[in-house]
Amino acid sequence: EVQLVESGGGLVQPGGSLRLSCAASGFTFSSYSMNWVRQAPGKGLEWVSYISHTGRTMYYADSVKGRFTISRDDAKNSLFLQMNSLGDEDTALYYCTRDDGFCTNTNCYRWWPYWGQGTLVTVSS
């Protein structure tokens, strides 16, 4: 059974940093690209970041570019999100997701059948 378990959330002051983790099990982690998706309280879903299965390709939402860094450790079956310079707008429940999909010669197309339960990040003084 595929399982994704996030951790590392908490209360942090504006301008502070936090590192989120996502522990994966039930599948060959190194074969799959992964994402972080967040949801502010009472709001909709926002994709945050993507990392390829090789770890060589990363994408970020404009709202976090330059502040957040996604990474992975295949030996530990873990995904990470280093978050720096946090602001009120980063307060959200952060989910990790596993990609499914396919690639053509020119592009890849991915959807998310597996989500963790989320870890809550609260930025407040």
Judged by the rule CB under 8 A, the positions of this chain that interact with another protein are: 44-47, 50, 59, 61-62, 95, 100-101, 107, 109-113, 115-118
Contacts 24+ apart (CB under 8 A), 65-71: 70/36
The smaller minimum CB distance to another protein, of residues 32 and 50, is found at: 50
For residues 19 and 69, give the distance between their C-alpha atoms in angstroms, rounded to a whole number: 9
The answer to whether the CB of 36 falls within 8 A of the CB of 95 is yes
The smaller minimum CB distance to another protein, of residues 87 and 101, is found at: 101
| Least distance to another protein, CB of residue 97, Å | 9
The smaller minimum CB distance to another protein, of residues 14 and 89, is found at: 89
Strand 10-12 relative to strand 119-123: parallel, antiparallel, unpaired? Answer: parallel
| Least distance to another protein, CB of residue 118, Å | 6
